[in-house]
Homo-oligomer: A and B are copies of this chain.
Amino acid sequence: MSHLSFDFNNLNNLIPENSACIQSCHEMLERGSGSGSDFLGWMQPAVNLAEIEKLAKSLRDQCEVFIVIGIGGSYIGAQAGLTFLKSSFPNQLGKDGGPDIYFAGQNISSDYHSDLMDLISGRDVCVNVISKSGTTTEPAIAFRFFKELIENKYGADGAKNRIVVTTDISKGALNQLVAEQGYRKFVIPDDIGGRFSVLSPVGLLPMAVAGIDIEKVIAGALKGKELYSRPSVEENDAYRYAGLRHLLYQKGMTTEILATFQPAFRHFSEWWKQLAGESEGKDGKGIFPASVEFTTDLHSMGQWIQEGRRTIFETFLLLENSNRQLKIPASQNDADGLNYLAGKTLDHVNNKAYEGAALAHKEGGVPNLSITINDRSPEALGQLFYFFQRAVAMTGYLNEVNPFDQPGVEFYKNNMFKLLNKPGY
């Protein structure tokens, strides 16, 4: 069963016309004949889940706090999964018996890391450090702090059972530590780039530690693989979405706004911005990805979307069924005039807000698309991850860029290393 549907009725009469290009780009993906084809491992999500599940179970029993150290694709996919599946208040997961999960090394903020160390002070800590090279500045700095904290608290021997490394199969600084210290290790496959790694141990171990059924996440991804590997755009919603967003881009709609109606999607939107922005923004082109959270931002960016420059399109990411239903209570005096909604669910009102906004924005000159998933289930999440990965790869090829490299990321790093007097720079 598919957990996802795609709708494109609010396009202001734009007619899809690029299925021939999609056909040839599909061949490039399937045959590995396009640019960046050394990085197509994400197309076949296949992981030894048993080993991850076993370790995750013991970490859940052992730790009160689980710190995930990584940046870019090494943290945002896991965070997207946790927020989507577990709680709108993702730092307060611990109620289900597992550890609270925090992220570190995704920035260089002194106050952030100080606040974090205060928060976890006195609690039993485990760490998962995720970095292919082991030398990326941000996570390497954070790992120094947390390694020291754990070694001081539990000794080098205790640290063995509290530090888990996710890294390259053989190269890099973290493999040296694994060999010296005996840390447990998971491998980031060579053919999977950071922003496509959520369905590898990078994303799956933290999700499993949070108590998420990762077999179901992968089952959803495999459903996505089945549906979104179909060659015909008529039968493939990921390609349909990719084709339409490329067409909109060509018509001058150069900013795409991902609009959700649930705080549970907050970090998913960040994952999507990395995936789309880093894959497509190069060679002086690419859709600019932005995100909003409605109805909150209908009272913020809503004005701009309704009446600002007409260079945007909107992709609604919708949830069909909340985990729980709240019904609006009746009130005796009806001072707020809301009794016409008494007994209705919040989902009902939220859904009408979506319909009202989609129509208003369309009429205001903002074409919009919508992606709806059934529920906050691991299967739906897995399928959704796969949907966007496939769609973004396709859009990249349609726009004639390599969707799997990120050459621009090096420029600031080189400047920074020079300014920091790093040896060799």
- Give chain A's interface residues, CB within 8 Å of chain B: 71-73, 76, 87-89, 91-92, 95, 106-116, 118-119, 134-135, 137-138, 140-141, 143-145, 148, 173-174, 176-177, 180, 194-195, 254-255, 261-264, 270, 273-274, 277-278, 280-286, 288-290, 293-312, 322-326, 328-329, 331, 333, 335-338, 340-341, 344-347, 349-350, 352-353, 355-357, 359-361, 363-364, 376, 406-409, 411-423
Q: Pick from B88, B112, B273, B325: contact of A88, CB below 8 A.
A: B112
A112 to B414, CA, bound (A): 42
Contacts of A281 in B (CB 8 A): 301, 303-305, 307-309
A90 to B325, CA, bound (A): 27
Contacts of A323 in B (CB 8 A): 110-111, 114
Contact B284 A346 (CB under 8 A): no
Contact A329 B285 (CB under 8 A): no
Contact B309 A254 (CB under 8 A): yes
Contacts of A335 in B (CB 8 A): 134, 173-174, 176-177
Most buried by B among A194, A419, A422: A419
Contact B326 A412 (CB under 8 A): no
Contact A336 B280 (CB under 8 A): no
Contact B108 A349 (CB under 8 A): yes
Q: Pick from B118, B141, B324: contact of A111, CB below 8 A.
A: B324
Indicate how many identical chains form the complex: 2
Q: Pick from B273, B294, B302, B346: contact of A301, CB below 8 A.
A: B273
Contacts of A347 in B (CB 8 A): 110
A349 to B139, CA, bound (A): 13
Contact A352 B173 (CB under 8 A): no
A340 to B299, CA, bound (A): 48
Contact B326 A138 (CB under 8 A): no
Q: Which 8 A-B pairs rank lowest in CB-CB distance, beginning with the nearest?
A: A281-B304, A72-B299, A306-B408, A281-B308, A356-B415, A356-B416, A274-B300, A360-B411
Contact A144 B331 (CB under 8 A): yes
Contact A108 B364 (CB under 8 A): no
Most buried by B among A174, A336, A352: A336
The closest CB in chain B to the CB of A357 belongs to B412
Nearest Cβ on chain B to A280's Cβ, whole angstroms? 7
Contacts of A283 in B (CB 8 A): 307
A422 to B106, CA, bound (A): 46
Given A295-B107, A420-B352, verify A134-B336 contact (CB < 8 Å).
yes
